[in-house]
Amino acid sequence: MASPISIRKLKAELMELVEVHLVDSGRSLGEEEDLFSAGLESMGIMQLIIQIEERLKIVIGDADVTRENFGSVAALAVLVERLGYPGE
């Protein structure tokens, strides 16, 4: 399990990636905010998956691509950690 500092860094990195793929960009998001309400769409999800996999060196399987896992930055962080994010 990653340390609290690593989890904060992970959430910050995910936030940065997510904000690039939002339709309604230019506003600040909370880590629990619903990403779909904020404008995340299916194409953005696919691009986000590619960037997360490349940057964090994990693989997100088809079964992991759910509304629950991609509903917020906090949910994404839980998914990434479960998939093997090593932290520091």
Tens of pLDDT, residue by residue, the chain (88 residues):
567 668 899 999 999 888 887 766 666 789 999 999 888 889 989 999 999 999 999 999 999 999 999 999 999 999 999 999 876 6
Q: Where are the domains of the chain?
A: 11-82
Query: 11-82 sits in which CATH class?
Result: mainly alpha
CA angle, 74 then 41 then 85, to 5°: 35
Tokens in use for 1?
């399990």
Rounded-to-integer distance, Cα 38 and Cα 5, Å: 26
Q: Which residue has the tokens 């079964």?
A: 63
